[in-house]
Amino acid sequence: MSSAKAEDYIKALYQLREGEEGEEGKEAIAPSAIADVLGVTTPTVTATMKRLAERDLVEREEYKGARLTEEGELMAIETIRHHRLLELFLTEQLNYDWTEVHEEADRLEHHISERLETEIDAVLGEPTADPHGAPIPSADLEVLNEDLAPLSAHEEGDLVTIERVRDDDPDVLAYLDRVGVTPGARFRVTEIAPFEMVTLAPFDSEDRTNAATSTDASGETVSLPKAVAVTVSVREASRKTDADPAIAN
């Protein structure tokens, strides 16, 4: 098995559990879930997991799936660090659009040396997040645990800051960019429609008097299907209150 293939499988295992803590984060992952991520068959995943177990990169649990060993987790974090640094390098230094960098970084992440990784990190100023808001592991392979929730989990009236968007669908990224749903943008959730739509109104955090009703420059709110909203991670900026319907501290 090539090192690139091993890293792809290890990274998929890690990302399927990324952000989960405690016992939940240690549960075995079913081969079918890995197959969906990588676009391969379940029998192919099962056979690959056997080979990765022989290399002590995963532990297999009969009828349940596999989980990463400590060595496997470090390999996954290193690969993710390469990937996210490359995404940022491509956007900031080579003028790639953020919709283009995921697949390019997927190809390159297996082939950069530790020296090149260090040089890229230095050129970028030791960044902590990629263009889509995902945390970049440190050089010591430490990972920042984010206290985020999907946009789809929020209620009408909530004020949120966009922190991260999933990077694997260029069409979705292009749409989010066009409507301004990008890391750092702030919105009020104005409606959760019964037909699976989430409607947002941008607001200026310094203009509190208009926060409840402000819209973007075109005068329109932004509506996202819940299938898209679930891929957008946010930090709650405030929650509506009876005392101050516009904004809370």
Return the pLDDT at 193.
84
pLDDT score of 59 more than 70: yes
Tell me how far apart the alpha carbons of residues 51 and 179 are, in angstroms, rounded to a whole number: 45
Which amino acid, residue 130? D
Domain 3-68 has CATH 1.10.1200.10: no
Mean pLDDT, to the nearest integer, of 174-202? 91
Tell me the pLDDT tens digit for each residue of 192-207: 887 789 999 987 654 4
* CA neighbor of 224 nearest in space, from 159, 184, 183, 173: 173
And the tokens for 172?
């979705």
DSSP string, 50-117: HHHHHTTSEEEETTTEEEE-HHHHHHHHHHHHHHHHHHHHHHHHS---TTTHHHHHHHHTTS--HHHH
Specify whether the CB–CB gap between 87 and 170 falls below 8 A.
no
**Does the CA dihedral 154-156-161-163 come out positive or negative?**
positive
| Residue 214, number of CB atoms within 10 A of its CB | 17
pLDDT score of 18 more than 80: no
Return the pLDDT at 1.
75
Tell me how far apart the alpha carbons of residues 89 and 87 are, in angstroms, rounded to a whole number: 6
Return the pLDDT at 204.
66
Q: Where are the domains of the chain?
A: 3-68, 79-145, 149-238
Which amino acid, residue 232? V
Average pLDDT for the chain: 87
User: Domain 149-238: which CATH class?
Assistant: mainly beta
For tokens 């009703």, name the residue.
Answer: 213
pLDDT score of 171 more than 50: yes
Tell me the pLDDT tens digit for each residue of 115-151: 999 999 999 999 999 999 999 999 999 998 878 999 9
For residue 179, give every residue at least 6 positions away whose Cβ sits within 8 Å of its Cβ, in sequence order, or none: 216, 222
The pLDDT-based confidence of 21 (bands split at 50, 70, 90) is low
**Prediction pTM value:** 0.84
And the tokens for 17?
């559990």
* Fold category of 79-145 in CATH: Diphtheria Toxin Repressor; domain 2 (1.10.60)
Specify whether the CB–CB gap between 8 and 40 falls below 8 A.
no
209: burial class by Cβ within 10 Å (0-12, 13-18, 19+)? exposed
Q: Specify the pairing of strand 222-225 against strand 65-68.
A: unpaired
| Residue 116, number of CB atoms within 10 A of its CB | 15
Mean pLDDT, to the nearest integer, of 170-193? 93
The pLDDT-based confidence of 234 (bands split at 50, 70, 90) is very high
Q: H helices within 94-169, ranges in order?
A: 101-108, 114-123
